[in-house]
Chain A
Amino acid sequence: MGDKKLILVVDDDPDLVEAVSLKLESEGFRVAKAYDGIQAWQRIKEERPDLIILDVMMPKKNGYQVCDEIKQDPEYKEITVVLLTAVGDAVTSTSYTHWDGKTALAEEFIPKPIDLDNLMDIIKDYVG
């Protein structure tokens, strides 16, 4: 375990969680997984990740809500949050808008689909 950074991957798409996790592990990171906002909080409290990759559009509690809660919690606000969302210029949605992401407290806001190598570059920028 040692110095390996822990990345929490949160997305209601289990296939994306798996793909990102495999990439992270191949790059030498430890990985925790969650599939909705409530599971995400459980993992955060249990394992205190160094960085969270967080999908926006999720059931039960969306990524914006989770991000806001993390950033307003003194114990966890320093954890880096990277928001991922499929919401973008080519998409309309009844619940989310592109501009909502602009006001989130996350360190990064990345539209899907993202090149996984690109995502690794961003993660390494933050956690090394």
Chain B
Amino acid sequence: MSVNMEKIPIAGVKLSGELLQFNISGFSNALDAKLELSTLLAANQMNMPFLSGVSLQERSHATGCVTVENEARARALIHGHSKLKLGVEFFPSVGLITLFPHQSSLKILGLSLFALGAAHLPLYGMGSSLSALTLITDYAHLEGALSALEEHLAVPRENDPFDADLKEATLTGTFKAGPMQTIAVYWEPRIKTYGFQSVTDLSLVEITFPAQRIRAVGLKLYELGEVPIGFRLVSAQSSTDGACRIYLLIRRHSEQQALERIRTVGGEETGDRLFVASPLELLHFQGPHYGDRYGIAEAAFKALAFGSVPVLLAACSQSCVCLVLPESRAREAEMCLSEVFEVPTRKARFSEKRPQTLGRGNERQNF
């Protein structure tokens, strides 16, 4: 079935450096793989620029990435963990391609998957944040992935997804010395956050399909975007048995319409397996440089485990932590997280305003 697919404008694309991905799977819910993983790596001061995890239907699965510089240590740590080592798969030399804003658009999601499938590029994982959609594919083919996306998404001409120094280093095998860019080192007794936001009355749709069908599934999701159904969160995992699972968090009132469209293409059942969990709630929060710092996910999952709040799905990417929770648990989760995450209070005026007696323009005044 051919569809006239419009080219949708986005604001930008980012490409990561080379990463090691690991999938931890095959456990019952008794083991929270994402908690174990985040605790292990945070204890060794290792950041994960991407982490997702799901605990559904008595299965627990987590996907995480570390930089290639941390690969050897991460492998050793996971192999040394009595439980994690039993269900780990490593995917070396992967990269993240992040596009933004996703606009909660199933069309953008569908086009992204369609583009990867059409270019015969693998999808090793995926996760969304408040504004960005991150896909994991082969590091060696990141530029190819970008080209594939650009056939379907209008990316600004000035978009330069590589850091200039990194790009030159990648192409020439050298590193040009220069001023370091943003590297912040944090220590906070309580981690600061912008605040917590929650959404209720949601449904989580799990779509399981053979990985080679990603192009077709992308097209299906694009078509689903023709009706006013947006996603609140999306995540995906692939495994070496050839199966891919996409998790789509949508408004519950859209569930039936979405399922009907996902089940069929051209009026025929596709055979893709579907599972739905509802009603659910979404809690998300973000903070400065969360994506650059270790320990954020660990702090969150520990707080929730301490409060016995189950997390059905978590997606940690960019600067956001997104948590899918059972009905009526978001408020409780927020209270647990507030023990370790600090929200600035409104009453204190933090800003330092220039006194009105000082002029503007070319005058420089030291406070």
Which residues of A line the B interface, CB within 8 A? 13-19, 33, 35, 38-39, 42, 57-60, 71-72, 77-78, 82, 86-87, 90-96, 102-103, 105-118, 121-122
Contact = CB atoms under 8 A, between A and B. Distances in A.
A19 B192 contact: no
A39 B156 contact: yes
Interface of B: 11-12, 100-101, 129-132, 156, 158, 160, 163, 179-188, 192-195, 286-289, 318-320, 343-346, 348-354, 360-362, 364-367
Nearest to A108: B351
Contacts, number: 133
B284 to A, nearest CB: 9
A109 B352 contact: yes
Given A35-B12, A113-B344, A107 B129 contact: no
Given A39-B158, A113-B194, A59 B181 contact: yes
Contact of A19 (B11, B186, B188, B286): B286
A93 B353 contact: no
15 contacts: A15-B319, A38-B158, A71-B360, A91-B185, A91-B186, A95-B183, A107-B353, A107-B354, A108-B353, A109-B352, A110-B351, A112-B288, A114-B344, A115-B194, A118-B350
A92 B11 contact: no
Contacts of A19: 130, 194, 286
Nearest to B354: A107
Given A16-B319, A39-B11, A71-B362, 11 more contacts: A13-B318, A14-B131, A15-B319, A59-B182, A92-B184, A93-B183, A94-B180, A107-B354, A113-B193, A115-B346, A118-B348
- List of 7 A-B pairs having minimum Cβ-Cβ separation, nearest first: A86-B288, A18-B131, A14-B100, A14-B131, A115-B344, A94-B180, A15-B130
Contacts of A33: 11, 101
Contacts of A111: 350
A102 B132 contact: no
Nearest to A22: B130
A118 B344 contact: yes
A112 B192 CA distance: 9
A14 B11 contact: yes
Given A108-B351, A108-B353, A103 B366 contact: yes
